[in-house]
Amino acid sequence: MIILKEVQTKKELKAFVKFPFELYKGSPYWVPPIISQEMEVFNRDENPIFNDATATLFVALKNNKIVGRIAIIINKLDLKQSQNKIRFGWFDVIDDIEVTKTLLDKVNDIGVQHNLEYMEGPIGFSNLDKVGVLTEGYDHIGSMITWYNHPYYVDHLVALGLVQEKEYQENKFPFSNVKPEFFKRINELVKKRYGLRPLNFTKTDDLMPYVDQMFDLFNTSYSELASFVEITERQKSYFKKKFISFINPEFIKFVMDEDDNMVAFAVVMPSFAEALQKANGKLFPFGFMHLLKAKKECKTVSFYLIGVEPKYKNKGVTAIIFNEYYETLKPMGVETCIRTPELEENYASHQIWKHFEATTYKRRKTYRKDLKTI
């Protein structure tokens, strides 16, 4: 018999967070989160997303043992944009379709109670959260900003009547594919034609005054995507604290115009995948050392975000960004560049990378289903 239990205490939340550690124990591909940071995501006093969203967490129990988990999310910003949906994320299950059905039936019930039209998942609260169930590339190591899952997840969802909503691709290319002679020439032409200049940093304190501008540009440049949810003012402060201070300042690049307005930005992160596997969910006593070493000695980097002011799109501005990254990454001996999940329909982003001969090595999807009253 499968019993569904709502997560209400800190002890129960920790068990919710730690369930995948058992499910993927021994996997060379799953990348564990830091347990304390994962718990903080659901701290209503710390995470400002709860000003605009609700999240109800459940675990499925069988013989008094956790066999599945799910976060059921209602984001008011979705409703403002006529996306009449209920989200589900942090979705993990054993290979038992009845467990998946029990969890998704609960999503349906809560969605119906709130007069919503359909469910979509796996997705987080916003565009900066993890997204999608992996559908290709199970034999590649994950990352700190993606979920990993067993192949049977897709089988469960499809068998229960969910259909594809969005598809994402993940690409990578060797740093040796980067041909500086191509973008160096365009870089100089674009800077001269539009009066633009790159802005680089070596200290996080010098970077911080520009971060709000970066998030504003993120909202502007990503607003046309179907998955877009605006980053609010309170979330900006939270993300600055949680993410920006964790990234090498040299890995964040801005392009400014003559009036000191930001027209483009990019964020690259060291790959912490192997360091997180060694840390196994804990910062102390040794997890922090593994992460610090990965930050300083990274040979693989992830292009996390890149955005361009709409009026400057297709005008070669990204050549400035790539020129700056080439100058930063080459002396570090970076060998591999990974791109985080990009919507299949985001053709503008695909165009940015066409000269790097990237290989699509993973795909992931979100799935949807219309809600039913019982």
Q: How many whole angstroms separate alpha carbon 34 and alpha carbon 294?
A: 15
Strand partners, 164: 367
- Residues 119, 87 contacting (CB under 8 angstroms): yes
**Beta pairing partners, 174:** 336
Residue with tokens 């989160």: 33
Q: What is the pLDDT of residue 227?
A: 65
Residue 274's CB is within 10 A of a number of other CB atoms, namely 15
SS3 240: helix
Q: Which two tokens stand for residue 332?
A: 């570090």
**254 and 264 in contact (C-beta within 8 Å)?**
yes
pTM exceeding the 0.85 threshold for the entire prediction:
yes
What pLDDT does 239 receive?
Answer: 83
- Tokens, residue 241: 């604290």
Instruction: List the one residue out of 32, 53, 35, 36 whose CA is nearest residue 44.
Output: 53
In which residue ranges of the chain is pLDDT below 70? 82, 226-227, 374
Residue-range domains of the chain with CATH: 2-168+366-370 (3.40.630.30), 173-363 (3.40.630.30)
The answer to whether residues 107 and 367 touch, using CB atoms and an 8 Å cutoff, is: no
Q: Cβ contacts of residue 196 below 8 Å, gap of 6+?
A: 190, 255, 256, 257, 258, 263, 317, 320
Task: Report d(CA 13, CA 44) in Å as an integer.
Answer: 13
Nearest to 86 by CA among 368, 373, 374: 368
Tallying the residues shown for the chain, one arrives at 374
Q: What are phi and psi of 196, to 5 degrees?
A: -105, 160
Query: Which amino acid is residue 295, in one-letter code?
Result: K
Q: Write down the pLDDT at residue 163.
A: 98
Q: How far is 126 from 50, CA to CA, in rounded Å? A: 12
- What string of DSSP letters covers 108-154? HHHHHHTT--EEEESB-SSTTS-B-EEEE-TTS---TTS----THHH
Please report the pLDDT score of residue 374 as a whole number: 56
